[in-house]
Amino acid sequence: MPGMPPSRDVELSPAASTARVVLYLLLLGAAAAALLVPPGNEPGGGVGRRPELLLAPVLLGIFAIGFTAYRFTLVRSGRYHAGKAFVQVGLLGLVLFLFVPGSVERWKASGVTPPVDLTRQLRSVDPEARAMAAELVRHRDPQDARRYLPRLVALLSDPSVEVRRQARGSLMAMAREDVGGEGPDAPDRWRAYWAARGVAFPP
């Protein structure tokens, strides 16, 4: 465009110069928070969501708003090329789109305590421990409980009547029906049912 200055800041006012410094500091702060704040809960630390995990996305969001307003002001005053400003703001929006959701998910996950692994209890030599673990599986989140399905099917052949009863109860609760029924072929029917739904069984 005739008469437009080169695509760089020229003769900035004191307010614009201050705004640019503030924007640089916000960007540096967001980068430092992303690099220095460890994700998740510290081993042995307290349980609860960690607000510091939101520091990086919040600072980046404030920077994005301020940067957009800063570029828009310069373009309106004829001190910056509109096309270049549009590309910069678009790239910044892409960075926000890619970075912020993951940061929020890490913040949500930081308040979650992993459930106790029941694998050892399901393989315990104590039949009472096996029975209690088999019963607990049905009260777990469905996604977490799926990893115990192969062991539950194996427990249908357990010597303990109570272990077999609890294993069958958990399998029925997760399937919402009694697929296996009774008899020596019940484990095979359960195994076929869950294998058809993507559960991997050891050979």
Position 49 pLDDT exceeds 70? no
Position 156 pLDDT exceeds 60? yes
**What is the average pLDDT across 30-37?**
75
Residue 103, sorted as left (phi over 0), alpha (psi -120 to 50) or beta, turns out to be alpha
Q: Choose between 40 and 59: higher pLDDT.
A: 59
| Residue 2 in domain | no
Q: With contact defined as beta carbons under 8 Å apart, do 123 and 147 qualify? A: no
Question: Is residue 19 domain-shared with residue 105, that is, in the same domain?
Answer: yes
Position 9 pLDDT exceeds 80? no
* Residue numbers of the domain that contains 40: 14-109
**What is the average pLDDT across 145-157?**
92
Question: Is residue 100 domain-shared with residue 127, that is, in the same domain?
Answer: no
- Give dist(CA 145, CA 50) in Å, integer: 27
Question: Is residue 34 domain-shared with residue 103, that is, in the same domain?
Answer: yes
| Residue 172 in domain | yes
pLDDT at 112: 57
Q: With contact defined as beta carbons under 8 Å apart, do 163 and 131 qualify? A: yes
Q: Choose between 10 and 64: higher pLDDT.
A: 64
| Residue 42 in domain | yes
Helix axes 14-36, 55-76, angle to 10 degrees: 150
Query: What is the distance of C-alpha 162 from the center of its chain?
Result: 38
Question: Is residue 104 domain-shared with residue 124, that is, in the same domain?
Answer: no
Question: Is residue 19 domain-shared with residue 98, that is, in the same domain?
Answer: yes
Residue 190 — pLDDT band, cuts 50, 70, 90?
very high
Position 48 pLDDT exceeds 60? no
Question: Is residue 43 domain-shared with residue 88, that is, in the same domain?
Answer: yes
pLDDT at 129: 94
The torsion angles phi and psi of 16, rounded to 5 degrees, stand at -65, -40
Last residue of a domain, one of 109, 127, 145: 109
Reported as a single tens digit per residue, the pLDDT across 61-112 is 888 888 888 888 888 888 888 888 888 888 888 888 887 777 777 766 665 5
